[in-house]
A = this chain, B = another copy of it.
């Protein structure tokens, strides 16, 4: 079982660092494993951020998220972990992740985590 690593994430220079602008990235193909049952979980991650000096590169984001495919993690932990990793690698001015998981036992869960305050 691989462990997701923030080292997979690559960045490129923010082409417009003088302007506070918003980047939304929607990833509807996220899947990980339930650590209790071993069954797969599925969800959609929506990552929003205002970059500072660097942006994350999309291909590397995709590979990083694929590392959760056979990794066991609860909803709350996995969402916070991804925020921590993306913040560590890109040091954004602001970042928010909304993770919406498909229903289990008839109950659907959405976890929303945020780093910093969105610049006006």
Instruction: Write the residues of chain A forming the contact surface with B, with a CB cutoff of 8 angstroms.
Output: 14-16, 19-29, 31, 39-40, 42, 55, 58-59, 61-62, 66, 69-70, 74, 76-77, 79-80, 102-114
Complex Cα distance A21/B14, Å? Answer: 27
Shortest C-beta distance, A110 to chain B (Å), equals 4
Quick check: B109 and A15 within 8 Å, CB to CB? no
Partner of A15, one of B19, B55, B70, B80: B80
Partner of A103, one of B24, B66, B103: B103
Residues of B within 8 A of A107 (CB): 25-27, 58, 61-62
A22-B111, A23-B111 known; A102 vs B29 contact (CB < 8 Å): yes
Complex Cα distance A74/B28, Å? Answer: 21
Residues of B within 8 A of A106 (CB): 27-29, 42, 62, 102-104
